[in-house]
Amino acid sequence: MATITTKDGTEIFYKDWGSGQPILFSHGWPLSGDAWEAQMLFFGQNGYRVIAHDRRGHGRSSQPWDGNNMDQYADDLAGLIEKLDLKDLIMIGHSTGGGEVAHYIGRHGTRRVAKVVLVGAVPPLMLKTDANPEGTPIEAFDGIRKGTAEDRSNFFLNLTMPFYGFNRDGATVNAGLRESFWLQGMMGGIKGHHDCIHEFSEVDYTEDLKKIDVPTLFIHGDDDQIVPIAAAAEKAVKIVKIGTLNVYKGSGHGLAQVEPDRFNADVLDFIKS
């Protein structure tokens, strides 16, 4: 298995396939780099080098007690980018991974970055506040903390229904996708998962978005039940310097997995534009 070791001794697992312009994928909570497998195959077959890591505390990476915060996630990502000497890089982040990508740029800049794609991403801020009334109340995140702490296995399985929009009338439930989500989630550690809830819900990424000075594509479902579009992409696209928003009508949070053909084609068009 390919890994890097961070300064605090944490091992970060990653996959690095193909050759060509590099595309780096950052996954959502509580998943792993495997969430991007349809994208890695597609873009690898289309002449790109594809890289996906498992965030610390997730997937096959180490499960440290400390360091499960966005500053460290971004620095872990920087360590991987520097070790692989990635340049002219396309960064793609889903959900929490979108926060990770934004915070990487906020801390490390865009010297190595050509374009950014943020998918169902959490920036600028998920939490409902007086200044962010479109956000989600803290009680919802406290519920996620409780479910993760007390019955993580069942909580993750139930979460797949709103995550992929399978709870909507007329939706076709993909049992394999639900099982893949559960398996990826249970590979990770409960401490890292529990700590990460704060990072995707209560961290304000506004200043990070302001530092993104390369073309940025936002892709978001208007029926996203996990990261509602009104508090996320609709605000974020107005903050970055060069932003475009592609709204998937009727789509939910896990749209890259539910609609891989459409998603892959849209991202490919953006990369080539």
Dump pLDDT digits (tens) for 170-213: 999 999 999 999 999 999 999 999 999 999 999 999 999 999 99
Q: With bands split at pLDDT 50, 70 and 90, how would you rate the model's confidence at 116? A: very high
Question: Given the structure tokens 């009338």, which residue do they identify?
Answer: 169
pLDDT band of 1, cuts 50, 70, 90: confident
Q: Are 199 and 68 in contact (CB under 8 A)?
A: yes
Q: Catalytic: 224?
A: yes
User: Domain 3-272 carries which CATH code?
Assistant: 3.40.50.1820
Indicate which residue of 26, 95, 201, 251 is catalytic: 95
Beta-carbon-side half-sphere exposure of residue 80 (alpha carbons within 13 Å): 31
Q: Angle at the Cα of 40 (from 162 to 261), degrees rounded to 5? A: 60
Q: Identify whether 95 is a catalytic site residue.
A: yes
Looking at the predicted structure, is the pLDDT value of residue 10 above 90? yes
Give one DSSP letter per residue of the chain, joined into a string: --EEE-TTS-EEEEEEE--SSEEEEE--TT--GGGGHHHHHHHHHTT-EEEEEPPTTSTTS---SS--SHHHHHHHHHHHHHHTT--SEEEEEETHHHHHHHHHHHHH-STTEEEEEEES---S--B-BTTBTTSB-HHHHHHHHHHHHHHHHHHHHHHHHHHHTTTSTTPPP-HHHHHHHHHHHHHS-HHHHHHHHHHHHT---HHHHHT--S-EEEEEETT-SSS-GGGTHHHHTTTSSSEEEEEETT--TTHHHHSHHHHHHHHHHHHH-
Annotated active-site residue 194? The verdict is no
Looking at residues 8-16, what average pLDDT do you find?
A: 97
* Average confidence score pLDDT of the chain: 98
Catalytic one of 34, 75, 208, 224:
224
Question: Residues 26-75: pLDDT tens digits?
Answer: 999 999 999 999 999 999 999 999 999 999 999 999 999 999 999 999 99
Hey, where are the domains in the chain? 3-272
Whole-structure pTM value: 0.98
